[in-house]
Amino acid sequence: MRIAAFLFSSTMLLSVAAWAADPAPGADVFAKPSSLPFQYPAFDRIHNEDFAAEFDRNSPVTLTGSVTRVDWGNPHIWVFMDVKDDAGTVSNWGVEGGAPNALFRNGWRKDSLKVGDTVTVEGFKAKDGSLRANANRVALPDGRRVFAGSSSGDR
Amino acid sequence: MKRFVVVGTACLLALGLMSARATSQARGGSGAASAKTNRPAPRLANGRPSMAGVWDNTRRADVTDPAIPGFVKELPFTAWGKSKWEGYDSFMQTNGDYVGNCLPFGMSRSLYGPHPVQIIQDNDHLVMLFEQNSMFHIVPTDGRPFTKDLPPSWFGESVGGWDGDTLVVETVNLNGYTRVDTIGHPMSARARITQTFRRVDFATIEHTFTLTDPKTYTSPWTVKDTWALDPGTKLLEYACMENNRALFEGRIKPFVPPDDVD
């Protein structure tokens, strides 16, 4: 598989805008309920604690792979997945998601994503170059979004 | 879930309620509180208004954000306050982030965070239950004074009293380690928080948050909120440290408190 870091193009903007118009529960989704619908609510935040410490908004990444573990816990869930690169090498990535209570209130459950499920994650890579990302969106092959929502706001 | 889109030039009260409704729906709450606004505020046994309920506390990551009604137009920093504001990123890099360490968020960040708040009240107490980190804060309203020589703390010590039907809560004895909001506006151990709670009807509280902190700001400033009752939301446990991988794996440093906030 592909680890496709992609340009922050108009396509990405439209994709993000579509998500923002129907937001799932990442903490910062609550940030500005009266803001304009085409503004992705996390982008205007600085000082976002562990997001700012760990992840780089200028390094978007798309990952597709098989779920190996889901850690459903506070302050944020983590999803681990095996991702194959273009050379066929498989690496295990850790993807940080939203807060469990917020996810629960929006209909997601601890077992909504199962080991072996194939998912596509759109998010931002870790600053230190390790195999970690912060997820904006997590989608199943049929397009259903699971665990959408970032931890990039308050915890 | 339907996202709320604000159009036109609705009045501030309406904007506040609309924001609260959107937050309610984002939390999976009923968002139907406005149907009950015709009912009067409930009363305590002593005849005072009760603030009890789960409230759509306004999400306010930045108290100066003009998109959120009730914001502060400009914060009047002292030189010390300005240095703390501008140095927040570097402070977190050297001293760690208290939030990332799952330490208490303090009053304003608990009230203005993304997680719900419940108030329980009787004649002599108002209790705030914050889902954020499963914290609580008790405000005696029986006329007692502040505790003498109490060591400072994250939420400080509060006492409450009545000005007519408005509950006024004063908080002092803060440790000065918390920030006002997510974006990191500073406050010091000299801060005094004054909150007012007025339950204008069954489903609405008008709340104000005033910070008087002469070390950090040259004059007091006030944030004004309108909260809608959200009976459809139940507070859940939030055990912050259980999966705090960022701290466990060393990407966030253990917090070292600042030594210049007194």
Number of domains in chain A: 1
Question: Which pLDDT value is given to residue B26?
Answer: 52
Measured CA to CA, the distance from residue B193 to residue A131 in angstroms comes to: 43
Nearest CA in chain A to B21: A33
Q: Which of residues 225 through 254 in chain B touch A, CB cutoff 8 A?
A: 233, 236, 238-246, 251-252
Whether B132 has its CB under 8 Å from any CB of chain A: the answer is yes
Nearest CA in chain A to B93: A53
pLDDT surpassing 60 at residue B17: no
Q: Tell me: the pLDDT tens digits for B160-202?
A: 999 999 999 999 999 999 999 999 999 999 999 999 999 999 9
Which residues is A125 bridged to in the sheet? Answer: A133
Shortest Cα distance, chain B CAs vs residue A141, angstroms: 22
- Cβ distance A31 to B114 less than 8 Å, yes or no, reads yes
Q: What is the mean pLDDT of chain A?
A: 70
Tokens of A116: 């072996």
B254 within a domain of the structure (yes/no): no
Lowest-confidence pick of A23-27, A112-116, B165-169, B246-250: A23-27
- Cβ distance A75 to B236 less than 8 Å, yes or no, reads no
Reported as a pLDDT band with limits 50, 70 and 90, residue B256 is very high
- Cβ distance A53 to B246 less than 8 Å, yes or no, reads yes
A98 within a domain of the structure (yes/no): yes
Nearest residue to A30 (alpha-carbon basis) of B20, B14, B224, B133: B20
A44 within a domain of the structure (yes/no): yes
A144 within a domain of the structure (yes/no): no
Question: Which pLDDT value is given to residue A143?
Answer: 78
Reported as a pLDDT band with limits 50, 70 and 90, residue B27 is low
A133 within a domain of the structure (yes/no): yes
B4 within a domain of the structure (yes/no): no
- B202 half-sphere exposure, CB direction, 13 A CA radius: 10
Question: In chain A, which residues have their Cβ closer than 8 Å to the Cβ of B132?
Answer: 154-155
pLDDT surpassing 70 at residue B93: yes
Q: Give the nearest partner residue to A49 out of B15, B99, B238, using CB atoms.
A: B99
| 3-state per-residue secondary structure call for B99-140 | CCCCCCCHHHHHHCCCCCEEEEECCCEEEEEECHHHEEEEEE
φ, ψ dihedrals at B107, nearest 5°: -60, -55
Shortest Cα distance, chain B CAs vs residue A104, angstroms: 9
Q: What is the mean pLDDT of chain B?
A: 89
Tokens of B64: 């100066």
- Cβ distance A106 to B242 less than 8 Å, yes or no, reads no
Measured CA to CA, the distance from residue B37 to residue B57 in angstroms comes to: 17
Question: Which pLDDT value is given to residue A141?
Answer: 76
Residue at B208: amino acid letter: T
**Which residue in B182, B230, B233, B237 has the most chain A C-beta atoms within 10 A of its own C-beta, making it the best mutation to test that interface?**
B182
Whether B61 has its CB under 8 Å from any CB of chain A: the answer is yes
Pairing label, strands B53-55, A55-71:
unpaired
Nearest CA in chain A to B183: A47
Reported as a pLDDT band with limits 50, 70 and 90, residue A147 is low
Q: What is the CATH number of the domain that holds A61?
A: 2.40.50.140
Average pLDDT over residues A24-30: 30
Rounded to the nearest 10 degrees, the angle between the axes of helix B88-95 and helix B79-86 is 60
B33 within a domain of the structure (yes/no): yes
Q: Tell me: the pLDDT tens digits for A40-86?
A: 223 223 334 557 778 888 999 999 999 999 999 999 999 999 999 99
- Cβ distance B243 to A99 less than 8 Å, yes or no, reads no
B22 within a domain of the structure (yes/no): yes
Task: Enter the ipTM.
Answer: 0.81
Q: Tell me: the pLDDT tens digits for B56-82?
A: 989 999 999 999 999 999 999 999 999
Strand, helix or coil at B241? helix
B255 within a domain of the structure (yes/no): no
- Cβ distance A75 to B244 less than 8 Å, yes or no, reads yes
Instruction: Provide the domain limits for residue A55.
Output: 3-139
- Cβ distance A78 to B243 less than 8 Å, yes or no, reads yes
- Cβ distance B243 to A30 less than 8 Å, yes or no, reads no
Instruction: Provide the domain limits for residue B30.
Output: 12-248
Longest CA–CA span in chain B (Å) reads 53
Whether B131 has its CB under 8 Å from any CB of chain A: the answer is yes
Alpha helix (H) ranges present in chain B?
A: 12-26, 79-86, 88-95, 106-111, 245-248
Question: Which pLDDT value is given to residue A139?
Answer: 87
Residue at A47: amino acid letter: H
Q: Report yes or no: B101 and B245 within 8 Å, Cβ to Cβ.
A: no
B5 within a domain of the structure (yes/no): no
B253 within a domain of the structure (yes/no): no
Number of domains in chain B: 1
Measured CA to CA, the distance from residue B8 to residue A75 in angstroms comes to: 37
Question: Which pLDDT value is given to residue A15?
Answer: 31
Residue at B191: amino acid letter: A
A46 within a domain of the structure (yes/no): yes
Question: Which pLDDT value is given to residue A148?
Answer: 58
Task: State the count of interchain CB pairs (< 8 A) between A and B.
Answer: 147
Question: In chain B, which residues have their Cβ closer than 8 Å to the Cβ of A49?
Answer: 92, 97, 99-100, 182, 252
pLDDT surpassing 80 at residue A117: yes
Nearest CA in chain A to B6: A34
Nearest residue to B191 (alpha-carbon basis) of B161, B157, B224: B157
Shortest Cα distance, chain A CAs vs residue B123, angstroms: 32
pTM over 0.90: no
pLDDT above 90: percentage of residues in chain B: 82
Per mean pLDDT, which of A131-140, A143-152, B76-85 is the most reliable? Answer: B76-85
Query: A143 Cβ partners below 8 Å, 6+ apart?
Result: none
B77 within a domain of the structure (yes/no): yes
pLDDT surpassing 70 at residue A154: no
Q: Which of residues 189 through 228 in chain B touch A, CB cutoff 8 A?
A: none
